[in-house]
Structure 1
């Protein structure tokens, strides 16, 4: 089984937790910044357009959504981002 298959078997919440924890531990500001930038689009893709609008207007919402996992639609929308990051960093 490949690393990607192993990661793909995890829940979106587990992927979020691993990716964010790895980025915090390694001070990977680039990943966290990129994640923060895609949060509004991920909210929109998840059907949470009100939250997407709020995140665009208030950067604090983007920051909160970057670190907080809602264990739902947002995590599922961000799943490919987490998978790519974790696949590139096998130490996570």
Structure 2
């Protein structure tokens, strides 16, 4: 507990760029895709909070385009078949939106 408090204080004194670099490097080493995905989801809101409304809208468009392109680039029928349950679950969860 004391060690965690000391680590928290150590992190609090670092500038944002250093925190960013450390977090990204750790996520790369751990192959933590959830962290990267979380960041991608937060970028538009962070831009809006920073007063960059147009950049926020552009980020949503860019991120959705990036994801669509990444998914479209995967032409392996085996991978697509493996993802079939995910597609079905998503469409069922959002049936009212279709």
TM-score with structure 2 setting the length: 0.58
Match of 1:5 in 2: 9
C-alpha distance in 1, partners of 2:65/2:48?
A: 14
Give runs of aligned pairs for residues 1-92 of structure 1, distance below 5 A: 2-59=6-63
- Alignment RMSD: 2.2
| 4+ residue runs over 6 A deviation | 60-63
Q: For structure 1, list consecutive stretches of 5 or more residues without a partner in the other structure.
A: 64-92
Task: State the 1:60 CA deviation.
Answer: 7.1
The answer to which structure, 1 or 2, has the higher relative contact order (CA under 8 A, 6+ apart) is 1
Q: For structure 2, list consecutive stretches of 5 or more residues without a partner in the other structure.
A: 68-98
More helix by share: 2
Indicate the structure (1 or 2) with the bigger Cα radius of gyration.
2
